[in-house]
């Protein structure tokens, strides 16, 4: 048998694609689901808005999730604790910087108030854009509009089945606050009684006895994750 790609001594002979990590960071901004976009400082697509991303560094990243974390630090100066793999895309022509480019896309849902991303290396500016606008914006760099569409769909599907992003919420919250947040994520209104019944059946929450949120109107029971 001659040496082949299966042979450790020669497998590196095949050129490998430029492998990048792209981040779809979602949050609620002004009551709507929004995605964090960066304005590109460099070619290609200089001046266009795109998902923050960076090249996979096999010398520094232990695995794909590590790489996504590092990119979050470098580009946004934040940690993203709750990353989920979204998809992988790769082809000859998707990125002019390389003859063949592969992108591994992660998505994260982060509390808007809790993170304060700053434009890091190679980004001129950062901006939150409502996902519905971003998906429809043909001016986004690369195929990022389509990547955002996928990340939005997956995130909304999670909310729909009450797979809630507790890391997104404060420790204690009222059911009204939770419902309002879910409505913002889904982009539609929910029925109060159904919402509460579903939460009840799934035993996701625990009332914090004696603790209420007071304000202008009737006080509301506080809950925390069970």
Partner DNA sequence: CCTCTTAGTTGCATTACACAACTAACTATA
Partner DNA sequence: TATAGTTAGTTGTGTAATGCAACTAAGAGG
Q: Which residues of the chain form contacts with its own copies (CB under 8 A)?
A: 1, 4-8, 11-12, 14-19, 41-44, 54-59, 61-64, 85, 87-92, 96-100, 102, 104, 121-122
Task: Report, in Å, the least distance between residue 154 CB and DNA.
Answer: 19
State the binding partner of 187 from DNA, its own copies, none, CB within 5 to 8 A by kind.
Answer: none
| DSSP assignment letter at 87 | E
Count residues near DNA (CB under 7 A). 23
Measured from the CB atom, the residue of 122 and 224 that comes closer to DNA is 224
- The encoded tokens of residue 186 equal 């889904």
Task: Report, in Å, the least distance between residue 52 CB and DNA.
Answer: 34
- Provide the b/e sequence for 6-23 (b: ≥16 CB within 10 Å): eeeeeeeeeeebbbbbbb
Measured from the CB atom, the residue of 5 and 212 that comes closer to its own copies is 5
Compute the residue count for the chain: 226
State the binding partner of 194 from DNA, its own copies, none, CB within 5 to 8 A by kind.
Answer: DNA
State the binding partner of 17 from its own copies, DNA, none, CB within 5 to 8 A by kind.
Answer: its own copies
Q: What are the C-alpha distances in Å from 175 to residues 34, 209, 217?
A: 22, 14, 15
State the binding partner of 217 from its own copies, DNA, none, CB within 5 to 8 A by kind.
Answer: DNA
- The encoded tokens of residue 109 equal 């849902």
Residue at token pair 């986004």: 140
- The encoded tokens of residue 36 equal 């964090």
Whether the ω angle into residue 44 lies within 30 degrees of 0, i.e. cis, is yes
State the binding partner of 195 from DNA, its own copies, none, CB within 5 to 8 A by kind.
Answer: DNA
- The encoded tokens of residue 188 equal 């539609």
Q: Does 97 bind DNA (CB under 7 A)?
A: no
Q: How many CB atoms are located within 10 Å of the residue 119 CB?
A: 17
Q: What is the DSSP string of 25-61?
A: EEEEETTEEEEEEEEE-SSSSTT-EE--EEE--TTT-
Q: Does 47 bind DNA (CB under 7 A)?
A: no
Q: How many CB atoms are located within 10 Å of the residue 201 CB?
A: 9
Residue at token pair 């910087």: 97
Q: Does 210 bind DNA (CB under 7 A)?
A: no
Measured from the CB atom, the residue of 106 and 223 that comes closer to its own copies is 106
Q: What string marks each residue from 152 to 191 as x (binds DNA by CB under 7 A) or -? A: ----------------------xxxx------------xx
């Amino acid at each position: 048998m001659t040496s082949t790609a299966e042979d450790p001594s020669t497998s590196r002979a095949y050129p490998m694609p430029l492998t990048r990590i792209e981040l779809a960071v979602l949050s609620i901004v002004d009551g709507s689901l929004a995605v964090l976009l960066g304005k590109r400082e460099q070619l290609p697509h200089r001046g266009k808005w795109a998902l923050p991303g960076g090249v996979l560094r096999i010398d520094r990243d232990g695995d794909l999730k590590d790489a996504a974390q590092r990119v979050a630090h470098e580009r946004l100066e934040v940690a993203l604790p709750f990353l989920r793999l979204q998809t992988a895309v790769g082809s000859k022509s998707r990125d002019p910087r390389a003859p063949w480019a592969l992108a591994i896309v992660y998505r994260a849902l982060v509390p808007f108030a809790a993170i304060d991303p700053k434009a890091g290396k190679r980004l001129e500016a950062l901006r939150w854009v409502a996902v519905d606008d971003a998906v429809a914006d043909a001016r986004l760099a690369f195929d990022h509009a389509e990547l955002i569409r996928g990340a939005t769909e997956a995130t909304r599907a999670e909310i729909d089945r009450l797979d809630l992003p507790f890391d997104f919420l404060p420790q204690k919250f009222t059911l009204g606050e939770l419902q309002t947040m879910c409505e913002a994520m889904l982009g539609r209104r929910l029925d109060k009684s159904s919402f509460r019944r579903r939460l009840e059946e799934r035993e996701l929450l625990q009332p914090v006895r004696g603790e209420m949120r007071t304000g202008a109107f009737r006080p509301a029971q506080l809950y925390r994750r069970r």
